[in-house]
Structure 1
Amino acid sequence: MVSDPFNRPNSSSSSFILVGVPSLEVFTPCLGILFCSGYIITLVGNGVVLLVIGLDNSLRDPIHYFLGMLAVIDVVMVTSVVPKMLSIFWLNSTEIGYMACFVQMFLVHSTTSEESGVLLAMAIDRYVAICHPLRYQAILNHQTIAQIGLAIVVRALLFMVPLTGMVTNLPYCHSHVVPHSYCEHMAVAKLACADPRPSGLYSVAGSSLIVGMDMAFIAVSYGMILKTVLGKKSFRKAFSTCGCHICVVLLYYIPGIVSIYAQQFGSSISRHTQVLLADLYLTLPTMLNPIIYSMRTKQIRQAVLKMLFSRKVHA
């Protein structure tokens, strides 16, 4: 049996114990309400997006496929962590099996990579639509979209399969108490009784490469868009749209970057702040994405209104 310094129920050696948010145990009911509310909004918002895209045959432009991909990824991302977090906050069910922990780790980190890839794809889509409108359908045809989607998934697998293998092969012979609300890679790897630095350096290098490359291309895409519409009547609309998108992108990337580097190299940031940042970048953008990206799209907005107020939805 594993001794639990947080006075939680003992766990067998084939399990980990998730603390939740360290030092904030007294606030766990309130945190549970916040994350549960965000989870429900995420499921409803992304569910509506997927429903209208699936039912309305007019929503078959490349941007709608990317929005569908983003909605699926968001649902998988939050579902991989929030239900377990709620069981910790409300039911004190802190135990998670070895296999479940590593599956959760794989899902969390692979979906964050995929989300980054889809955000980049959507930025490129807007660039082509605004800067090369006459070639839009030729450039982003169905084959290209399928190749982009496949590349996003393959990149996430190429990053996560080696990392998961490195972490699962570490021996865990000491404490099994994870000071986190989910099986975050470094929080688990630091419990090993072998050197976790190789997997940590691999994670930081891979994450930095993915995030840095995607953010650079996103910035270039939106920069080219604003340059194209500068001085034109469409400038205000483009600036408003790009501004909202960039805010969501920054809200997704900044907490994630801070969390990754703080976990690996240590910092003056308190443990509970690190955990809340990690929770934030998994849950808040997934709640805002359907509003910022989908509901601001005229065709999807009209399709939602049609679904809500029409007696019959035409397939």
Structure 2
Amino acid sequence: MLDPSQRLLSEELILTHTELIVLILSRFSAITEDNDSGLEQYEKVLYGSLDIIVGLGGGKGVSDTFRAIRGKGPLSEVSESLATFILTVAEQLIHLVDARAVRDTILPLAEKYMVRPQHKASFEASFAFLLVLVDAASETALSEPNQGPFVDALVHILAQGLIKQTRDGSISPSQLKAAYPTVVKAASRRSPALVATTINQIKDAEFKTDEAKDTVRIVRIMLIPYVPGPEIPEYLETIAQLILSTKQGSDARLEAASTAFQVIMKEIPDESRQYGIEWWQRWRRRFNGAGADAEAVAKL
């Protein structure tokens, strides 16, 4: 059995070798972009190594690893594949990455590649990182008000970026649906005014495809939980009209009504739930489509 000093030395050796493995993986990240067959094993090794670094090294281990991956050259020399790697690792370790690394390396890379959809991997990694960052930072800002202006700015950047890139076709409607509620959730931790701004941005955005328009309708319904309590009645009336604007008996009507039901029953805050239930009971029959769809909605 190892004594404490031997155990500490053993853990330090494991940590050092694991950090080296991650560094090596970062240098081969470009290979995985064109080789799906090896991606699964690559990710297993990467995420397993990150778990070890977090477990044995904590925040210091994460910081040391980032410095090694980043290297000493100027940020402009970081390749697109390495930027993708850095952003992916940062997304996984968002709560342990130090502020300096975020400020000096990760955030500049995310801002650079979030407007470069031609490189899909770094583009998607940028948005993925920024979404977990705004979620984490908005939660921190609840107890550290000095973070507030940063969160506000990031909310605006993400809302505008997601809408623009969806309009341009670089982000799919399904990706918009998955991402936009996170932005509004972060806004809800800041102020009712910021919530209103983000909701109006998605409401007023113009999209060319029917798929995108249908998705925006669903997104607006998914935002119900983040609307301030005093504004819930007016917002729900708007949602009711939005659902009724779809063709009676259509799949779009059924999806919109079903989404509203799920949000009201499972996601709306407790202080607004009773009103939400009453709203649903008042409108549900109006939402009914025709034939089989009517039965499906009526059973909700």
- TM-score relative to the length of structure 2: 0.27
Q: Which has the larger radius of gyration?
A: 2
Larger helix percent: 2
Task: Give TM-score scaled by structure 1 length.
Answer: 0.26
Relative CO higher for 1 or 2, CA cutoff 8 Å, sep ≥ 6? Answer: 1
